[in-house]
Structure 1
Amino acid sequence: IQSADGPWQRSTHLKKHLREACRTLQPQQEISIDLLNRILVDEDREILYCYVPKVGCTSWKRVWMKIQGLASPEEDVWTMPRLQVHTAPLTTLLEYDHMEIKSMLSKYRKFLFGRRPWERVVAAYRDKLEKQTDSHYDFHKEIGAKIENKYRGTTNSTGDNVTFPEYVSYISEMVDGSAEQNNEHWKPALQLCAPCLIQYDFIGKFESLEEDSNFVLSWLGLRDVVTEFPSATMATHSTHHTPRYRAQLEPGLSKQFLNKYMEEFIAFKYDML
């Protein structure tokens, strides 16, 4: 029996709210190649998962490796290097033809997770731009350098010391912008997973990720493969850090960010303050 405030009930209320928000906001959404490539498929269990970076997707990709047999039974996917997880050949909707995709979207059980935009963009900044490790070199070089050049009037930046205000300015520009500005690590989940076009059966939230994910494991009958979803990791600490980063922003820049992510805040029922 589901409690009145359990994961399924919360999801049901959120989906109802989302449907109303979709009618009101009518956000731009499409069944794009990018979307099809981020919806993971398990044919045996007839399930689909649309992953959103910085919203528990690494952990769920670990689960997918288990259910798709990409990790041996004795292999601990929870301690596997992140790079190995993110480069694993997981099956996506993009591998199917039009009729198969249509059938799967109609028949399979589908789920995704959302996160409050403030915390999500702070998490992306801390992980991708603030960290000074070799594994982040490409991100600094490709995106960090563009940000620094844009706001500092330089042409030869290394991209390894982008400030939080520069980053927020870059991702908050109201124009459709470049591929870098629409990077999946900060692109709104509304656009990444198109929940106004696709009727997801369950929508969880990062703020209750562990509880919601354990519910999903049971709901989808995955307990035989993954007994328990891991407890909150370091990623959740971004929630505690958010005020410190937001304090660096001028009121006008905060407003610009809110305007850019307004639909996301509204659709997923998040407080904008």
Structure 2
Amino acid sequence: MGTSRMFRIFVVLGSAFMILLIIIYWDDVGASHLYLHTPVSPGPKIPHPPPHHHHHHQPQTSRTPSFLSDIDAFVNQFLEPGTGEPTDPAPADTSNQSEKAEERYVPRREWKIHLTPVAAELRDRQEQRRRLLQEMCANDSVAFPGKNRSFDDIPNRELDHLIVDDRHGVIYCYVPKVACSNWKRIMIVLSESLLRDGVPQRDPLAIPGDLVHNSSMHFTFNKFWKRYGKFARHLMKVKLKKYTKFIFVRDPFVRLISAYRNKFELRNEDFYRRFAQVMLRRYANQPTPPASVDEAFDGGIHPSFSNFIQYLLDPQTEKEMPFNEHWRQVYRLCHPCQIQYDFVGHLETAEDDAEHLLRQLRVDNVVEFPTSHRNLTASTWESDWFSTLSAEARRELYKLYEADFRLFGYDRPDSILNE
């Protein structure tokens, strides 16, 4: 009996020691030698390797999945049944199938190496945007909730917009109404988390919209605790240090117009029940709004843009629940003062920025950013949309989103605020 107990103690101590060795190895050696096609240390300043170095990365193809799978399998030995993703029963077709993809992974054709540098003006643009973020985060005159907290102080639930692609060493913080559907498609293609007939999906536009926004398709920071337990924060910091982190933003007021048009001028049952009915009752003299979105639209009833802004400015709104992600401030979604982004894209320069980013990641021959032919909300429409608001409401709204304007270099809309 005593011998058996001593054996179990030695097994537990040995296992704990092995976990420490894995974490130390991960931290010291880093992920830069473990991922297939791109250097994952942050910083667009790192030059592309010369062509003849490219061939040295090929033998690592088979090592990558096994190392990552071993870590997951080892950590899951210490989780209760049903709490570790790899040991859970396999979900339906919409599940994250990245591990299966790795098992069936077939090396791609030779990846091209760029011999010509990125245009100086594009490099300068990124340098200016990154520098502005650093300056605004250090500037005491720019104040907003959560600005001075540490990364460790950010709750896990507020890290659900940070999507991780371990295959290429990329972290993307998605902002709704800023082309996030297409960037999520890109991340699914890069991470190979969607299989079709056992082969990773290569065409972003072939990914159905319901899967694009299905949380099981993306490995986000808020899922780290479930997979890595008490080592989650440590691994987050390692990846933040070594991976390329990017974000796309747009003019905050134009983003609000886009959110309103998409969620309240189109038939959306979920948003009608969760938000539109509240707006109609509180601000549109509709004490008993229609029960369904179809009934409301058939009767020509929906909240106005002015009702929507009233809802945002009403203190009762945030008391009941945090802003929905479609109109939540970017600084609350992506924490730019705690995370040093390597690439800051603007929707207003999306075409150039997307090409620059994919080239910087050296995946531009594998995937292209889908061009959208849909009507985009134009910044020139702002004065028309905001003309229905009082001057006081416009100024209050600017205060609510001022941090996003200043952090990301958007001019104060004086023409709207001073009308």
Question: What is the TM-score of this pair, normalised by structure 1?
Answer: 0.89
Question: Whose radius of gyration is greater, 1 or 2?
Answer: 2
Aligned equivalent of 1:230: 370
Between 1:176-185 and 1:20-29, the stretch displaced more is 176-185
Aligned equivalent of 2:63: none
Relative contact order, higher structure (CA 8 A, sep 6+): 1
The match for 2:233 among 98, 107, 111 is 98
Q: CA distance change for structure 1 residues 153 and 236 in 2, over 3 Å: closer, same or farther?
A: closer
Are the counterparts in 2 of residues 54 and 120 from structure 1 also a CA contact under 8 Å?
Answer: yes
Give, as a single letter, the amino acid of the residue that structure 2 aligns with 1:82.
G
Offset at 1:48? 0.3
Give, as a single letter, the amino acid of the residue that structure 1 aligns with 2:355.
N
Give, as a single letter, the amino acid of the residue that structure 1 aligns with 2:144.
P
Offset at 1:247? 2.1
Q: Secondary structure at the match of 2:171?
A: strand
Offset at 1:33? 2.3
Aligned equivalent of 1:197: 338
Structure 1, gaps ≥5 residues long: none
Superposed CA deviations along residues 102-122 of structure 1, whole A, max 9, x for unmatched, are 211121110101111111000
Are the counterparts in 1 of residues 143 and 403 from structure 2 also a CA contact under 8 Å?
Answer: no
CA distance in 2, matches of 1:75, 1:224: 11
Q: CA distance change for structure 1 residues 243 and 42 in 2, over 3 Å: closer, same or farther?
A: same
CA distance in 1, matches of 2:401, 2:385: 17
Matching of residue 44 in structure 1 with residue 190 in structure 2: no
Aligned equivalent of 1:260: 400
Aligned equivalent of 2:33: none
CA distance in 2, matches of 1:179, 1:238: 32
Give, as a single letter, the amino acid of the residue that structure 2 aligns with 1:65.
I
Superposed CA deviations along residues 197-246 of structure 1, whole A, max 9, x for unmatched, are 111111111111121111111111222430x2122442523445433312
The match for 1:108 among 232, 243, 252 is 243
The match for 2:283 among 136, 145, 151 is 151
Give, as a single letter, the amino acid of the residue that structure 1 aligns with 2:361.
L
Identity %: 29
The match for 1:63 among 181, 186, 190 is 186
Matching of residue 140 in structure 1 with residue 272 in structure 2: yes
Matching of residue 248 in structure 1 with residue 370 in structure 2: no
Aligned equivalent of 2:209: 82
The match for 1:19 among 127, 134, 142 is 134
CA distance in 2, matches of 1:247, 1:181: 27
Are the counterparts in 2 of residues 2 and 9 from structure 1 also a CA contact under 8 Å?
Answer: no
Offset at 1:84? 2.6
Structure 2, gaps ≥5 residues long: 1-116, 147-152, 225-231, 297-301, 414-419
Offset at 1:255? 1.2
CA distance in 2, matches of 1:126, 1:214: 28
CA distance in 1, matches of 2:180, 2:201: 22
CA distance in 1, matches of 2:136, 2:402: 11
Give, as a single letter, the amino acid of the residue that structure 1 aligns with 2:126.
S
Aligned equivalent of 1:53: 176
Q: CA distance change for structure 1 residues 71 and 11 in 2, over 3 Å: closer, same or farther?
A: farther
Question: What is the TM-score of this pair, normalised by structure 2?
Answer: 0.59
Moved over 6 A (4+): none
